[in-house]
Amino acid sequence: MAMVSMVKPSLFLRAEQPLAHDLPAGTSPGSSSSRRRDLVFIVNPRGANGRTGREWKKLLPYLRFRLGSDCNISESLTSGPSNAIDITREAIREGADAVVAVGGDGTLHEVVNGFFWGGKPVSKHDSKVPRTTALGLIPLGTGSDFARTFGWSNDPVDAIERLVKGRSRSRIDVGVISKEGGDLHYFINVADIHLSAKAGYHASKYKRFGSLCYVIGALQAFFGHHNHDLKIRVNDGEWELYPKVTALCIGNAQFFGGGMRITPNAHPSSGNFEVVTLQDFKWYDFIMKLHRLYNGTHLSVNNVLSRSAFSIEVEEVVGSNSIFVQSDGEHLGFLPRKFSILPSVISMIC
């Protein structure tokens, strides 16, 4: 299929097929006996302060060498915020075998949101085509927290080898965030509330400093921070009062904030979130217990609660419209919100 026709020609550029002398002995372009897979690579060239774009240019020849003999490779460089969402939707509608996010957790977040439209999964135009579009990932951004849950390294060559073997797929869960009268928003990694979300909001302004942005964001978030009483309803049950909440994290996967293992029991194929609540933490608590937050042993600390849930609603007891909400590092506004899981809704190349 002609992938260039998916969207405007300026968005999709067909990657060149490898030349005969670039291929292993005894092979030729298109010599695979099976149908050629259509892979769409969505790249944020400005990611990681421009490093993603530079690394992608270096990586592309190797990608063509490893995949070009049995895959149609299309690349699309995003032009701004939310562009990856639109490109993903078009690729799925045109019947792509896989959409591969190239970049950090922000790019992956947008691609995942592109798998949905109007509260439903996007479907291909030709309903007679039986295959579904899979999700792939080449981590090349500031943070690659989602990949850590699977034990994947930050080496893009390893990611390409997963795509080469890409017949192995795993069904994964996705979280959906809703508010009365608002649009639905999807996340694949971790959604969080209050201090951690505020730290993420500030960190996003310092990404030019690499992973140090998370430290700067956390320090800025502490200024003027106050713990708040929240109302929480789990699995559509009774409302519960959680006093002096410092942060509340809803994990579909385990890591956020550049390697902090905040929801250590979460996994995107479990069918449930792990919800971790930190209550009545002071600034010195974070300094003393930071190593526990990174290695995932904080669940035994006083004032830390973990529970499993397929849905959770969170509201302020006294409305201030100042409690930050984010998902996958993207600022979403303020409480109230409801978080629900969509089990096994996406097929991921593993």
Question: Looking at the DSSP assignment, which residues form a beta bridge with residue 72?
Answer: 38
- Annotation says 70 is catalytic: no
- The answer to whether 36 and 71 have CB atoms below 8 angstroms apart is yes
Rounded distance between C-alpha atoms, residue 135 and residue 349, angstroms: 6
Instruction: Determine which one of 97, 105, 192, 328 is catalytic.
Output: 105
- Nearest to 55, CA basis, from 180, 154, 169: 154
Of 82, 65, 64, 52, give the one whose Cα is nearest residue 24: 65
Tally Cβ neighbours within 10 Å of residue 173. 22
The helix (run of H) or strand (run of E) holding residue 227 is: none
**CA 177, CA 189: separation in Å to the nearest integer?**
13
Q: Other CB atoms closer than 10 Å to residue 343's CB: what's the count?
A: 14
- For residue 59, how far is the Cα from the chain centroid? 21
Contacts from 197-204 at CB under 8 Å and sequence distance 24+? 197/247, 197/324, 197/325, 197/326, 197/331, 198/225, 198/324, 199/257, 200/256, 200/257, 200/324, 200/326, 200/329, 200/331, 201/324, 201/326, 201/331, 203/257, 203/329, 204/329, 204/331
Give backbone dihedrals phi and psi of 137, rounded to 5 degrees, phi first: -145, 130
Cα 38 to Cα 277: distance, rounded to the nearest angstrom = 42
Active site residues: 105
